[in-house]
A and B are shown apart, each in its own frame.
Chain A
Amino acid sequence: MLEKMIFGRYIPGDSFIHRLDARAKLLFVFFFIMVVFIANNWITYGILLVFTFLIIKLSKIRLYFLINGLKPVVFLIIFTFLLHLFFTREGPIILDWKFIKIYEEGLKQGIFISIRFTVLVILTSILTLTTTPISITDALEILLNPLKKWKLPVHELALMMSISLRFIPTLMDETDKIMKAQMARGSDMTTGNMKERMNAIVPLLIPLFVSAFKRAEDLATAMEVRGYRGGEGRTRYRKLEWALRDTLTLLTLVVLAVILVYFRN
């Protein structure tokens, strides 16, 4: 049961997208979110779809994983689609049945919004599927570095993030063990109503918390012994390397934006 909840879902590979610098990918997704909002008609949304399709091809990720990534947001996409469908009252009526009136503009807006959502979710999925969590953390630390001026503890945040990621499998194993131990003692976690199940989680959470704190203490001691004194004067073992392809990738985004501006209404 716990194996399914893998966070990060990085899929190793050696595609063009895999090899891109994590900073480039992060910036790309960030600016892409803005660029998406330029589109406002059939041609421009069509271009967005084609562009996204090309990226999927380039990443060599199996569609299965992308569809899995879409699953949690399908409900949201359908909901916004219906909202636009029923509540936009512009243009000619295309369906008039009893009290339901559907306008052309509503249908159009509904489809547009759905495309926008889908494209964004797919691109962020590709980011997490092709980049190791640790590279994303490194990239974030470097990109957020200027914020140190405003006393944002960037290094500490990044370290916290990477340690949490490192401990997820360890704590998962532990949860599994505690769960089995409690089940062996007769605790029932899989049946009963909502309230009973919530109560059954308590004997799982308490030992887990106790041990997590114990681990944190040990880890802090180990870090201190190994000379950890905060971000000052530290060197980095992991180097992100910005290559020409990273600059070019970001430039394609500019080209896309120009094309979209040209074709929009």
Chain B
Amino acid sequence: MKREIISLQEVTFTYAEEDIGIRPAIQNVSYTINEGEWVAIVGHNGSGKSTLARLMNGLLFPQTGTVRIFGEPLNEHNLWDTRSKMGMVFQNPDNQFVGATVQDDVAFALENNGIPFEEMVERVHASLAKVKMSDFMNSEPHHLSGGQKQRVAIAGAIALQPSILLLDEATSMLDPQGREEVLQTVHELRKETDLTVISITHDLEEALLADRVIVMNQGEKYATGSPHEVFERGQELIDLGLDLPFAMNMSRLLRAQGVQLVADHMSEEELVNDLWTSHFNK
């Protein structure tokens, strides 16, 4: 049994406390995330998924319910300690780049946490090597692509050697190539370390990579399960304003046209394999 790393219990949060008429941004949400898991939180705009991110790292505190991190309730005393164990990457690559150059930016969180100079240099080099940005050490942010900036942001987050990496729509402003770069980087990081990844996204291709998916709708937890279980719901997800992954959509449309397909398809590869072998199965 894996150790629990983040757990929310009956959390409710509203931005407008005085205004009772307004629906809370988060309503009675509970879930537990275990060490080493990759969990995707999906939902359309306004489903409360970004608010969840802010609740998990103490940028916001819930009105009712508790947020527990490493088994301890998150409060103002352990806030900074918690943040040092949780790296976070935001949506806009430009607005989270603090340093004047790549290496300064990676060092920023280390400086904040008072890491001694010699260790800092080592960690900056190691983190940049992990995201394959070592050649850009002295580059300034405006000379980098969006995907590269996000990789630097990941390097800055993992330099602190956190247990959790929280991606808040980290790929949504990137072009397909940049998105691929970033997801590939996260994938490789997980192979090497026991990093827990929580990705908040409306991109279902990204959710497919996760071990578990939590679907949010109107501030409430709508469904949870493996990507396979969740995407089997098909039409239900579309009604929530979500898209299906390309391969699933494609196979749905093919079936509607009367093409005989054997299984459900999560990835393009599975679909292609099923298609070219479909004649043999007859």
Contacts and interface: CB of A to CB of B under 8 A. Distances in A.
B158 to A, nearest CB: 12
A237 B98 contact: no
B149 to A, nearest CB: 11
B88 A229 contact: no
A218 B89 CA distance: 11
Given A224-B59, A227-B109, A235 B95 contact: no
Interface stretch (B113-121, B195-203, B216-224, B274-282): B113-121
Contact of A235 (B57, B115, B124, B140): B115
Interface string A229-240: 100011111110
Classify chain B's interface size.
35 or more
A215 interface: yes
A19 to B, nearest CB: 16
Interface residues of A, number: 30
Interface string A26-63: 00000000000000000000000000000000000000
A134 B115 CA distance: 21
A66 B236 CA distance: 68
A237 B96 contact: no
A227 B95 contact: no
A170 interface: yes
B251 interface: no
Interface in B45-99: 57, 59, 80, 83-84, 88, 90, 92, 94-99
13 contacts: A166-B99, A166-B100, A166-B141, A170-B94, A218-B95, A222-B90, A223-B98, A226-B83, A226-B98, A227-B112, A233-B114, A237-B117, A239-B117
Interface of B: 57, 59, 80, 83-84, 88, 90, 92, 94-101, 103-104, 107-117, 120-121, 124, 140-142, 156-157, 160
